[in-house]
Structure 1
Amino acid sequence: MIPVQGYEGRTLAILGLGRSGRTAARALAVGGASVVAWDDGPAGRAAAEAEGIPLRDLSREGAFAGIDALIVSPGIPHLYPQPHPAIAAAWEAGVPVDNDIGLFFRSIAQADWADLAVAPKVVAVTGSNGKSTTAALLHHVLTEAGRESQLAGNIGRGVLDIEPPGSGGVVVLELSSYQTDLARSLTPDVGVFTNLTPDHLDRHGGLGGYFAAKRRLFAEGGPDRCVIGVDEPEGRYLANQMVEGLGDDRLIRVSSGRKLTGGWSVFARKGFLSEYRKGRQTGSIDLRDIPGLPGAHNHQNACAAYAVARTMGLAPRVIEEGFRSYPGLPHRSQLVADRDGVRWVNDSKATNVDSALKALQAFDRIRWICGGLAKEGGLGGLLPAAGAVVKAYVIGREAEAFATELRGVEAEVCTTMARAVQRAAEEARPGEVVLLAPAAASFDQYDSFEKRGDDFAALVDAIT
């Protein structure tokens, strides 16, 4: 555990008692602070009471008397669409509001770091899509290369729950916009921006607010090195702001689909990763036959992970070995079965149109299981990949409405996952892929995209 520094003998309040909230309470206590906490749900309060964490309703008048700071869990709105009443009360009381990411960055440097031969480093990965795969892939490559690495944040363990890193250790964090938006301290050694597509717009007051939350990691964090995807205007804007010119090697630009010129760059074209520095090619990897990284979207993730690994001193050959042994993440282009010439792929994490489009573009001859709680903007963005779809099997409570938006795609309304898997199994032919890429949230039928993906995998296992 990372003991929180700077609050010894002081009292902090915690709002939200899920994984991050309870871990923050323990880390604060280890650091010598006192804690009170609240959760709007009875289950969260019960879990806190079981751990001996004192409860206080932070929405009540006078609740912030004697409180030095409020620590907020990432799922709780602090500005849009409207601030939680407890956060508004903290503002009125003049109490600083932070989150566990802010506590982590102010506490990660321990007193014994001066005695370490090589100072530890923190890599923070953000973006709309691919950040989980990029972070997990980098962690895998580092571990396979014999480097001490810990994976935390939105993936793996809570940021304060990891062990203090040793000499030369690396902490790889996946950070969402909910986390970067509020953290009062953001000081990664390497910052990674994968890409930007519309998501969480209600939480950030629009696309500009969403990008601003991501940009804080760089503009306020001031990382020593930046790895930035430049396939969207926001990435190109951010990359331009972080350097003095093309010769500034504090920046590594990343692209999937086009060659980059000038400066330090890593890009993938037609399945081949290339690294260029000072006008010369310094590394390359054939990504086409790496099973854990199918499709152009995963090639972009590979480029970002490769770039960070190069800043850590790893050779291209060592990185490629790590890529080839990477097993992939559950629910992200995960091969769950290969039977009678038909591949079954679980990409339940494709909860928006852009991520589903990238999943569709990774395969040919697709029997596509899709649907769920649709997000704003409609499904028009999926049409460029419609030619690869043999047939769609639509699930969700609003399956009929979802199916009508799939113009030019043969679609069958199945409503349930069980029916969709059954129908796809009956109709799939050798050489085809049955792909779960919902392009929608799961909450109309499942508690999470993980539960949805697990259901798909279990049904496929039963059939195959």
Structure 2
Amino acid sequence: MIPVQGYAGQTVAVLGLGRTGRAAAAALAAGGAQPVVWDDSVPARNTAEAEGLILRDLTKTQSYEDVAALIVSPGIPHLYPAPHPAIAAAWDAGVPVDNDIGLFFQSFATTEWANFDTAPRVIAVTGSNGKSTTAALIHHILTENGRPAQLAGNIGRGVLDIDPAPDGGVVVLELSSYQTDLARALTPDVAVFTNFSPDHLDRHAGLGGYFAAKRRLFAEGGPDRAIVGVDEAEGRYLANQLSEGPEDDRVIRISSGQKLTQGWTVFARKSFLSEYRKGRQVGTIDLRKIKGLPGGHNHQNACAAYAACRTLGLGPKGIAAAMESYPGLPHRSQIVAEKDGVLYVNDSKATNVDSAAKALQAFKKIRWICGGLQKEGGLEALLPHLDHVVKAYVIGREAEGFALQLTGAEAEICTTMEAAVMRAVAEAQAGEVVLLAPAAASFDQYDNFEKRGDDFMARVQAALG
């Protein structure tokens, strides 16, 4: 646990009692603060009270008379589409609003670090897609090369639930726009921006607000190194804003598909990763050997992870060796079975159009299971990538409407995962891939994308016997 610094002897309010809120309350108490908590869910409040936490209705302005700060869980809207009543009440009372990420950055460093030979470092990863894979890959590479590392944030443990830093330790954080948007302290040593595409637009009142939330990771704290994916205009803009010129090696530009040679760059082309510094190639990796990172989108993740590890002094050979043993993450281009020449891949985490498009580009002949709770913007961006699709099998309550948008591809309305898998397995031919990449949220049929991916895997195993 990371005891929260700066609030000893003060009352701090915590809104939301999921994993994040409960860890924040415990870390505040460990740092000498008195947490008071609230959740809209009555069962959550009852559980918290049974565990000895002090409940207080934080939707009332008078509840903040003795409160030093309000700590908000990431799933709770603080501005758009409308601020939660408790947050509005805190504003009215003049109480600062923060989140667990802000608490982490103000509390992680301690006086014990003065005795360390090597100061601990924090690598923070954000972007629209690939955050989890990039963060997990960085952690894997560090661990395989003997560096003490912890994985936290949206993946692994909660940021305040990790262990205090050891000498030379590295914390790898995956941070969503919900987390970067509200944190009052954002000071990573290395910040990574993977890529950018529309997502969470209701929460950020549009594309500009969403990008602004991502940009805060780089603008607020000024990382020593910024690793920026430049395959979209937003990434090129961000890299330009952070850089003092083409040779400024505080900014490492990365790409999947483009050759980059000015300054410090890492890019992947034709399944080969290359590192250039001052116009010269200084490292290369054959990504074809790495089964846990298929497709151009994963090659972009590999570039980001490689660059992050290079900033910490790891050599290309050590990074390459570790990448070869990377097993991949569940529900992210996860190979779940292979039989009679047909590969079965679970990419349930492809919850938006951009991530699904990248999954479709990773394979040649695809039996595509897709559909669910469609996000804003429609499916138009997927249409250029349907040439790899032999047939689509559409699931979800909106399956008919989803299928109608897939112009140029044969689509069968299956509605359920069971029916989609049965049809895909029955029709798949050797050399094809049965791919779950929904391009939609899961909440019409499942609690989360993990449950959806688990169902796909179970149905595949049952169908294959």
- Same fold flag (TM > 0.5): yes
Distance in 2 (alpha carbons) for counterparts of 1:338 and 1:60: 57
Is the 2:261–2:277 Cα contact (8 Å) retained in structure 1? no
What residue ranges of structure 2 are gaps of 5+ in the alignment?
none
Aligned to 1:212: 212
Distance in 1 (alpha carbons) for counterparts of 2:384 and 2:177: 28
Which 4+ residue blocks in structure 1 deviate beyond 3 angstroms?
Answer: none
Distance in 1 (alpha carbons) for counterparts of 2:61 and 2:226: 44
Distance in 2 (alpha carbons) for counterparts of 1:398 and 1:215: 34
Matched, 1:289 2:289: yes
Distance in 1 (alpha carbons) for counterparts of 2:341 and 2:414: 24
Secondary structure at the aligned position of 1:117 is classed as coil
Deviates more, 1:454-463 or 1:359-368: 454-463
Aligned to 1:157: 157
TM-superposed deviation, 1:312: 0.8
Is the 2:61–2:92 Cα contact (8 Å) retained in structure 1? no
Secondary structure at the aligned position of 1:239 is classed as helix
Matched, 1:459 2:465: no
Distance in 1 (alpha carbons) for counterparts of 2:47 and 2:414: 38
Distance in 1 (alpha carbons) for counterparts of 2:210 and 2:298: 23
Distance in 2 (alpha carbons) for counterparts of 1:23 and 1:116: 27
Distance in 2 (alpha carbons) for counterparts of 1:419 and 1:46: 40
Aligned to 1:389: 389
Aligned to 1:338: 338
Matched, 1:377 2:380: no
Matched, 1:182 2:162: no
Distance in 2 (alpha carbons) for counterparts of 1:237 and 1:272: 26
Distance in 2 (alpha carbons) for counterparts of 1:360 and 1:43: 42
Aligned to 2:111: 111
TM-superposed deviation, 1:383: 1.0
Map 1:317-356; keep pairs closer than 5 Å. 317-356=317-356
Secondary structure at the aligned position of 2:37 is classed as strand
Distance in 2 (alpha carbons) for counterparts of 1:60 and 1:168: 45
What amino acid sits opposite 2:218 in the alignment? F
TM-superposed deviation, 1:63: 1.4
Distance in 2 (alpha carbons) for counterparts of 1:328 and 1:43: 36
Secondary structure at the aligned position of 2:253 is classed as strand
Aligned to 1:432: 432
Distance in 2 (alpha carbons) for counterparts of 1:202 and 1:251: 31
Matched, 1:7 2:20: no
TM-superposed deviation, 1:49: 2.0
Aligned to 1:266: 266
What amino acid sits opposite 2:367 in the alignment? R
Distance in 1 (alpha carbons) for counterparts of 2:215 and 2:5: 26
Distance in 1 (alpha carbons) for counterparts of 2:454 and 2:439: 17
Secondary structure at the aligned position of 1:288 is classed as helix
Distance in 2 (alpha carbons) for counterparts of 1:195 and 1:373: 23
TM-superposed deviation, 1:52: 1.4
Secondary structure at the aligned position of 1:158 is classed as coil
Matched, 1:419 2:387: no
TM-superposed deviation, 1:61: 4.5
Normalized against structure 2, the TM-score is what? Answer: 0.99
Distance in 1 (alpha carbons) for counterparts of 2:312 and 2:157: 22
Aligned to 2:29: 29
Secondary structure at the aligned position of 2:282 is classed as strand
Distance in 1 (alpha carbons) for counterparts of 2:122 and 2:108: 9
Distance in 2 (alpha carbons) for counterparts of 1:257 and 1:198: 21
TM-superposed deviation, 1:290: 1.1
Distance in 2 (alpha carbons) for counterparts of 1:46 and 1:297: 44
Distance in 1 (alpha carbons) for counterparts of 2:448 and 2:68: 35
Distance in 1 (alpha carbons) for counterparts of 2:435 and 2:409: 15
What residue ranges of structure 1 are gaps of 5+ in the alignment?
none
Aligned to 1:279: 279
Distance in 1 (alpha carbons) for counterparts of 2:225 and 2:47: 40
Matched, 1:79 2:79: yes
Distance in 2 (alpha carbons) for counterparts of 1:324 and 1:255: 20
Secondary structure at the aligned position of 2:391 is classed as strand
Distance in 1 (alpha carbons) for counterparts of 2:117 and 2:382: 51
Distance in 2 (alpha carbons) for counterparts of 1:49 and 1:433: 50
TM-superposed deviation, 1:42: 2.1
Distance in 2 (alpha carbons) for counterparts of 1:235 and 1:177: 15
Secondary structure at the aligned position of 1:335 is classed as strand
Give per-residue Cα distances to partners, 1:288-316, cap 9 Å, x unaligned: 23100000000000000000111111111
Normalized against structure 1, the TM-score is what? Answer: 0.99
Distance in 2 (alpha carbons) for counterparts of 1:45 and 1:306: 44
Distance in 1 (alpha carbons) for counterparts of 2:31 and 2:429: 60
Task: Give me the CA root mean square deviation.
Answer: 0.7
Secondary structure at the aligned position of 2:134 is classed as helix
Matched, 1:55 2:55: yes
Aligned to 1:95: 95
What amino acid sits opposite 2:435 in the alignment? L
Give per-residue Cα distances to partners, 1:137-183, cap 9 Å, x unaligned: 00000000010000000000000000011111000000000000000
Aligned to 2:45: 45
Matched, 1:366 2:334: no
What amino acid sits opposite 2:382 in the alignment? L
Equivalenced residue count is 464
Matched, 1:65 2:65: yes
Percent identity between matched residues is: 74
Deviates more, 1:123-132 or 1:238-247: 238-247
